[in-house]
Amino acid sequence: MHNQLSNEFRSFLMPLEFFYSKNEVKLPEIFPINQDMLPELQNKLLAHKVDMTSTLSKFHNSELYINVIDNEINENYVLRMVVLKTIDGDVPVEFGAIGIDLSRLPDNMIDEINYGRKPLGKLLDDHNVEYISNPRGYFKVKQDELISETLNNPVSCDMYGRCNEITDINGFTIADIVEVLPNF
């Protein structure tokens, strides 16, 4: 499986692969797929050019917050593994990993990123940062224990996700994101 991933697709998975490697855990089985192979609901929630925060907030009719599972922070870059949850009901709606280039963002936004409660999409909107969402690929993943526990789904069931890049309006990368949806 992982040997079958192209180098390009592996690079899209970097934030997630970083945390699995850091914790010496084998990455779950990931299979790149075309958008047309996504089930209808997952296609609606993943195949678009807007941020996942607003998409999932609308779908679940609730504001979202992040629960940080693990992170690495240096002066200009944050790597974080998170679960997005609804404020209303505390329901997990996405598991993911993100790498954020802080040098591209306003100082007051960086403070909120470091605090670690608001999703990046919400912060970009709150701080009026113009950005472009660029889905880079879709995948099916056979969830492992970590994803299962985080999203309250049975181990080994297939789930779907996307790799996304958020850029500023000049094309510079703000964030690389790996996003996995629970089974609804």
pLDDT means over runs of 10, the chain (184 residues): 77 96 94 96 94 94 96 93 96 97 94 93 95 96 91 86 96 97 88
96 touches 71 (CB < 8 A) = no
Rounded CA-CA distance 173/146 in Å is 28
Q: What is the pTM of this model?
A: 0.93
Whichever domain contains 44, its CATH number is 3.40.1410.10
Q: What is the pLDDT of residue 151?
A: 93
Q: What is the pLDDT of residue 2?
A: 52
Q: What is the pLDDT of residue 60?
A: 96
Domain of residue 77, residue span:
2-180
Q: Which helix (H) or strand (E) holds 50?
A: none
Dihedral angle over CA of 146, 58, 161, 42, nearest 10: 120
Q: What is the pLDDT of residue 140?
A: 96
What is the domain count for the chain? 1
